[in-house]
Structure 1
Amino acid sequence: MSKKVKYYYDSESLAYRKIKPKKRTKVAYALLFLVASALFGFLSFVVVMNTSYLETPKDKMMKREIDNMKISYSILNKKIEQLDAVLTSLEERDNNLYRVYFNANPIALADRRAGIITQDRYRELEGFNNSDLVINTHKKVDEIAKALVVQSRSLDGILKMAKTKGRLLASIPAIQPVKNEDLKQMASGFGYRSDPFTKARKMHEGMDFTARTGTPIYATGDGVVKRADNGLSGYGNHIQINHGYGYLTLYAHLSKIKVRPGQRVKRGDVIGFVGSTGRSEAPHLHYEVHKGGKPVNPINFYYGNISAAEYVVISKIANQENQSLD
């Protein structure tokens, strides 16, 4: 096919003349062709490089490793979420059950979940294709690690409080000092009563239990014997037990003392025997409970060895304004 020839009309010679392309135009067309070819080649290279046609075995292996890493991190994050749910449940029980029971302040969420924040902690994990995935996982692990440390310390504190509370519960004077089967009657209670000798109305700071001379008297709580003598006016042979936590009990008018000062006793140990020594009208035990240095009504502490029905009967008798025996 012959090349198309172009003509133009020359007005001076009144004739058609052949158009001859300039050399500069040919160069421009040639450069344009080269640029277009280079651009097309570059685009083709980019397209090819982003397909799997030219992947080397090493590239394929690395791609599989990256995919496996993503799957592993996904599984790890699910396990972290499960662990976090268990830890959250434990934290809730810690704040709303354990710490409430022992009257301890709850631990704020900000203190539990502050994480471990240090400058440039994750710098070495930056700059990779999957840096966000790896860094976020590390942050979750660090946060849970910190929360576990806080929870562990909290449980250590609760264990310590539990041991202290156990000692407190054992130390509180919680039983009658004389068994019900050994009692003749509960003669007089706490409050204003008639003095058996002067007949004047005065404060009776304990309870009187009438029983035969020689009836066993029991320590009402764990503690250390503070006194065991007859040196207090009017009390005759008497014992004082320091139970700690502000509690002290007194047992008076004993016929015989079985313990010595400084001796440790347990609730239910026999410490002496009923008598009528000192300022006493008949064989009985005068029993007092002191809290913080002040006498309190002992009847409020008999939850350890009497039934509700027995408590009602004793309470009615104790509240009668009768005559005390000392």
Structure 2
Amino acid sequence: MSKVKYYYDSETLSYQKIERKKGRRLGIALLSLVAIFLAAFILLVVYLNLPQIQTPKEKALKRELTNMQLQYGMLNRKMDQIQDVLGNIEDRDNNIYRLYFESNPIPEEQRRAGFGGVNRYRNLEGYDNSKLIMETTQRMDILTKQIVVQSRSLDEIAELAKEKEQLLSAIPAIQPVRNENLKRIASGFGWRNDPFTKVKKFHYGMDFTAPRGTPVYATGDGRIERADNRATGYGNHIRLDHGYGYTSLYAHLYKYNVRVGQRVKRGDVIGFVGSTGRSEAPHLHYEIYKDGERINPINFYYGNLSPEEFDQVLQQAQQENQSLD
């Protein structure tokens, strides 16, 4: 209930009641309403144009968000550097290491393959920086996969290198009789006159003339497969299994220096020159087999002959003379 107000009338020397006019009341109400709207508009303009007032907690969260964005940016730059280094390793892996060890390069699509199927990053959606976080996480996952692929490739290369080393040690690569003990190369691989029938016959090895008892050396690492005289014409002979499809044979020996099943290294003395079996004079008949086929031994002396010595051996081996067995 509104209060009744009075005013003092000096003429009548009495208090008179103040009567409010209805139009004035309406004007005051309208004026008040306009003032309220004007004040609200001014406050809205101020709110939209001035920096938002933040609480200390909101300020701390904003700093953390800015720092996170900075950290993600640094992380992406580091991943760029890692990607460059990894790309260099992948290039060498495909074009040097795998090429040297005769292994197929890893396809680019296998190295760069992403992750198909379900959305792996659904739990990262719905945030202010979801795109940045999802892209960085995806890059990290792909980079991790590339590193795993490269790591497995290097493991494979290490195994290939180990096998390559074993292969190089196993392949017959030296002359079975040293030059200082060698009188001459009596016959090479090819058609030669048989010393007994005097007709041309294919000679499947090389004959090294040397005094009886001259050491005979294993031409590569391997296991003694045979050491007996139960093969026609070879007399006392040794078969050395090198693995990888290679076998070497040493025939007409005076005696053995090994036993069946024994493992030997290149350069070990395995027997001594003799003239047993179908032989005309003391010499070593030497053969090499690859996958069961006899091949020319002249191509396997790179391990202990100089170029000049090899040329001399090659000239002697090509002479179509008479063999000694």
Compute the TM-score of the two structures, normalised by the length of structure 2: 0.87
Matches within 5 A, 1:1-326: 41-48=43-50, 51=51, 54-117=53-116, 119-326=118-325
Q: Is the CA contact (8 Å cut-off) linking 1:172 and 1:221 kept in structure 2?
A: yes
Distance 1:141 1:55 in 2: 35
Q: Aligned-pair distance for 1:40? A: 5.6
Deviation string for 1:18-44 (max 9, x for gaps)? xxxxxxxxx999999977775564344
Q: Is the CA contact (8 Å cut-off) linking 1:247 and 1:291 kept in structure 2?
A: yes
Deviation string for 1:35-93 (max 9, x for gaps)? 77755643442333xx15x2222222222111111111111111111111111111111
CA RMSD of aligned residues (A): 2.4
Distance 2:205 2:129 in 1: 78
Unaligned runs of 5+ in 2: 1-28
Q: For residue 20 of structure 1, what is the aligned residue in structure 2?
A: none
Q: Is the CA contact (8 Å cut-off) linking 1:255 and 1:274 kept in structure 2?
A: yes
Runs of at least 4 residues of structure 1 off by over 6 A? 27-37
Are residues 110 and 39 of structure 1, via their aligned partners in 2, closer, same or farther at CA, if it must alter by over 3 Å? farther
Distance 1:214 1:312 in 2: 27
Q: Aligned-pair distance for 1:116? A: 3.8
Distance 1:235 1:132 in 2: 80
Distance 2:56 2:30 in 1: 44
> Which amino acid in 2 is paired with 1:47?
N
> Which amino acid in 2 is paired with 1:300?
N
Q: For residue 18 of structure 1, what is the aligned residue in structure 2?
A: none
